[in-house]
Structure 1
Amino acid sequence: MRFEDDLGAWVARQRWYAGKSHEPRFRVLDARPTTGATTYLVMDDAGAVPTLYNVPLAHSDRSEGDDVAARDGDRHLVDATRHPDFTIGMLRDMGLDVDRVTSSRVLTGEQSNTSIVYDVDGTPAIILKLFRTLHHGENPDVTVQRVLSEAGSPFVPRFFGSLDAEWPDVGRPEGVARGTLGFAQEFLSGVRDGWAIALDEARAGRDFTAAARDLGIAVAGVHGALGAALETADADEAVVTTTGAAWARRLSIAATEVPAVAERRAEIDAVYRAALARPWPRLQRIHGDLHLGQVLAVPNGGWRIVDFEGEPLRPMEERAIPDLPPRDVAGMLRSFDYAAAVGGGPDAAAWAAACRAAFVEAYVSAPGAVALDPELLRALVLDKAVYESIYEARNRPDWLPVPLAGIDAALS
């Protein structure tokens, strides 16, 4: 019992632990030896939904340090992601040739996962994302990036391989669940994320429309490849009705909590009703949580889109359901508005409007792009801004003017 108590206390201190709003109740569901370590699957049963954590640990003689998780007899167990035997072993288990891998290191600053960078012949070349929370089924990040890489898409890093695991699950008929532990892909040197770049450009009032156009082409290319490679579906009456109900539910919450949204409720609802009456495009896999922080600028290499896990608050099984491609477009349009507002440069509204126009123009003219119905896109932008108004009112009241301005821009 002492071991599980120590291990649970360590898990609860990690940045990737997702249950900080409740008192945890941990138990070790499974423990399996792997190269250089033991992978412990640790269940937290205390939350509204039980959460399973991926905790690989290696033996060490050290008894102190932030990575020391628990005691095991005369030795201690430490975070294995900092041990080359384990990290390089994961690549080997994925089927990668590791003869030229010379070292590995953990990236700092991560929140929900752990990323490990590998040097090949002394140069960073591979990055592995280790998922810390596990779910039954292949992680959407793996599915989407593998498919895009196999299709030769220039808009994502090359995919190298993934690693799965099984664990006991009494809730499934076969008594076993299977999911993704992590995956490896190309490491891109010298990249900057789109949010940081856009913020600098907005702050200085510099023209960002060329970059916005390139982003529009990249997003359209990803949508086209995903629509060709993965399942698509008609947006039937049930889908339209369910989507409309979700819009109405968020609008009702926002109108209750944000007086400025309540004043605009009738106008917003009119846009929603118009969009629900329009023909909708086919549903397909999308990014699901697209914004400027999810794109990387490669020096002299254009944009790469990353992190296809989808909206973090949605259950994992829902993230793999075909969705509306314009939802990604709406997310990026709102991100331009946030960059302009946070940057606070001269004539921020005009800067954001120019970026939005350039992005949409490039998206609709790109080969294989999904048609953008203006009424549907306007409704999706409004729904995103309505959601943002709820979040900002609850968490960052000083930022509330940003989504409210977005609502007014969409209504005008």
Structure 2
Amino acid sequence: MSEAAPASSVTPGTPDTPGSSDTHRTTADPYGTTAPLSAPLVAPPVPHASAALLTSLSPLLHDWLPRQRWFAGKGRPVVGFTLVSATELLPLTGSPGLLHLLVRAQQPTVPAQGAAAPPPADCYQLLLGVRRSLPPTLASALIGRVAQGPLAGHTVYEALSDPRLAGLLLERLRLPGTIGSLRFDKDPTAEVGSGLTPRALGAEQSNSSIVYGNSHILKVFRRVHAGANPDLELPLALAGEGSARVPAPIAWFEGANPEDPFEPFTLGLLQPFLHDAEDGWQLALKSLAVGRDFTAEAHALGRATAEVHLALAASLPTLTLGRPQAELLTAQMAERLEATVQAVPALLPYADGLRQAFDAVRELGAAGPVVTAQRVHGDLHLGQVLRTGDGEWTVIDFEGEPAKPLTERRRPQPVVRDVAGMLRSFDYAARSHQPWDPDWATRCRTAYLDGYTAASGIDPRHQAVLLRAYETDKAVYEVLYEARHRPDWLPVPMAAVRRLARPS
């Protein structure tokens, strides 16, 4: 790259400080969420060459970024990029080079109702490979050829598609330390093999995953937020409690947040790869296809859910929801309902009955403390659980609903939120099979609740008001989603709406 401006002024990829093995211990804050007790990760100044690099890459990113399935700002133009950090993991003078970027994509937006200013632009993690020319095996990873600036004449591509560069990430995770704006850390008791062949998994909506050999899987978060990601925070807490219901984190890496060194970006998480496991959704569909009973699996899944909740309650703070929290909760649910009624007129005849489900929670709160709240999964359904070869259920993907703010996803909530999500998932599975067998869903729902009760001593059916409200809120969300994206599926949540709108 002798004819181009030197890119070596970008933060060089040289480990210089050791990682900390207790980076993610947590404590309570006044709201009852958790905050990391981590050593600060200070962002180094952005070199001038890094800013010039982003300027030269911007024309390519304008075209490429909105086409990625994990890009959250679809439907709105990208008007510019702001560089958060740039780190060379392999010198850009090499072939290949590896450049790590955190960039904010500037898009037109408006403040939320009652907000003084629009939210900050979404921040994305980009891993870019750099070569003089791209071999045919990497043609599908092409981002483009740089026309000007430090990388003029070079080809830029998605690095995770390159086995050599994906393998480099695993090597960095094996050796904790800080490289520029990035900090790599690991469980000191865990072994990470070397020389494992990487392969990318497809069809993910919000992240990218790489499987190494048949033993490890690395999830790379694409749209990142300042603060501890629940997908790292909660499995670490569960591993600390000795829970076998979650693949324990092996290693992870973070990026410095220039605005707050104590709130870094969680960027990636390495966990054991359960190669012999099958997800609950596929198992349920197979059961329906052959007419096989699924209640034993549902009962065991209820037990597994309860065990996860018990371990989270033991390891992280809990709080009691009273009248203010009940009113806030129901106001948010009611707001989502009103917006959906406007968007989907088919919901209008049931709106009064659905409002009653939320009003009942408000009335419950007015009478006194409602229920204990704790950290929960936040997006639990049959696709978020795996049954391993020994028949045990494992829970994965603790990130919560990615579209929601991180502060909301980390907020303690009643456990019936997770329970309601799984109950809705049984309904979806049953409706996906023809002819529809409503009794299958009813049996699975009952077995799941029985299993949860047996393991926890708490019967979610005794929290009927809250359970109905959370099921209703979930069904309303489903109505809006299906109306927008899969109209043929709209009858599935509408059937739940008709049931939930009836007085208990």
The TM-score with structure 1 as length reference comes to: 0.90
Are 1:268 and 2:354 an aligned pair?
yes
Partners of 1:183 and 1:326 lie apart in 2 by: 27
Are 1:385 and 2:385 an aligned pair?
no
Alignment correspondent of 1:34 = 89
Are 1:107 and 2:201 an aligned pair?
yes
Task: Give yes or no for contact 1:286–1:325 (8 Å, CA) kept in 2.
Answer: yes
Alignment correspondent of 1:326 = 416
Shift of 1:258: 4.3
Alignment correspondent of 2:41 = none
Partners of 1:195 and 1:262 lie apart in 2 by: 31
Task: Give yes or no for contact 1:234–1:282 (8 Å, CA) kept in 2.
Answer: yes
Deviations 1:234-286 (A, max 9, x none): 10211100111122223333444445533233333333333333352211111
- The percentage of counterpart residues that share the same residue type is 38
Cα–Cα, structure 1 residues 265 and 296, in superposed 2: closer, same or farther, change >3 Å? same
Task: Give yes or no for contact 1:168–1:177 (8 Å, CA) kept in 2.
Answer: no
Are 1:68 and 2:158 an aligned pair?
no
Alignment correspondent of 2:122 = 51
Cα–Cα, structure 1 residues 261 and 34, in superposed 2: closer, same or farther, change >3 Å? same
Shift of 1:357: 0.7
Alignment correspondent of 1:94 = 185
Partners of 1:214 and 1:54 lie apart in 2 by: 38
Shift of 1:46: 1.0
Alignment correspondent of 1:77 = 156
**Aligned counterpart for 2:226 among listed residues 136, 141, 144:** 136
The TM-score with structure 2 as length reference comes to: 0.74
Cα–Cα, structure 1 residues 384 and 111, in superposed 2: closer, same or farther, change >3 Å? closer
Shift of 1:19: 2.0
Partners of 1:353 and 1:148 lie apart in 2 by: 31
Partners of 2:263 and 2:452 lie apart in 1 by: 39
Task: Give yes or no for contact 2:228–2:263 (8 Å, CA) kept in 1.
Answer: no
**Aligned counterpart for 1:373 among listed residues 435, 453, 463:** 463
* Secondary structure of 1:333's aligned partner: helix
* Secondary structure of 2:242's aligned partner: coil
Are 1:162 and 2:252 an aligned pair?
yes
Cα–Cα, structure 1 residues 2 and 162, in superposed 2: closer, same or farther, change >3 Å? closer
Larger CA deviation: 209-218 vs 109-118: 109-118
Cα–Cα, structure 1 residues 404 and 78, in superposed 2: closer, same or farther, change >3 Å? closer
Cα–Cα, structure 1 residues 237 and 383, in superposed 2: closer, same or farther, change >3 Å? same
Shift of 1:21: 1.1
Cα–Cα, structure 1 residues 378 and 12, in superposed 2: closer, same or farther, change >3 Å? closer
* Secondary structure of 2:373's aligned partner: coil
Task: Give yes or no for contact 2:199–2:212 (8 Å, CA) kept in 1.
Answer: yes
Alignment correspondent of 1:244 = 330
Deviations 1:349-372 (A, max 9, x none): 111111111111111221365754
Are 1:180 and 2:276 an aligned pair?
no
> 2:476 is aligned with what amino acid?
V
> 2:230 is aligned with what amino acid?
P
Alignment correspondent of 2:5 = none
Alignment correspondent of 1:11 = 65
Q: Which runs of 5+ in 1 are unaligned?
A: none
Task: Give yes or no for contact 1:80–1:87 (8 Å, CA) kept in 2.
Answer: no
Deviations 1:282-312 (A, max 9, x none): 1111111111111112122411111111112
Alignment correspondent of 2:376 = 286
* Secondary structure of 1:52's aligned partner: strand
* Secondary structure of 1:66's aligned partner: helix
Partners of 2:170 and 2:484 lie apart in 1 by: 43
Partners of 1:272 and 1:7 lie apart in 2 by: 44
Count of equivalent residues: 403
Task: Give yes or no for contact 1:204–1:345 (8 Å, CA) kept in 2.
Answer: no
Task: Give yes or no for contact 2:207–2:220 (8 Å, CA) kept in 1.
Answer: yes
Shift of 1:323: 1.1
Partners of 1:111 and 1:353 lie apart in 2 by: 30
Cα–Cα, structure 1 residues 90 and 343, in superposed 2: closer, same or farther, change >3 Å? farther
Shift of 1:388: 1.8
Alignment correspondent of 2:75 = 21
* Secondary structure of 1:343's aligned partner: coil
Alignment correspondent of 2:398 = 308
Partners of 1:319 and 1:378 lie apart in 2 by: 21
Deviations 1:151-191 (A, max 9, x none): 1212111221211111434xx6x7x9621111111100122
* Secondary structure of 1:373's aligned partner: helix
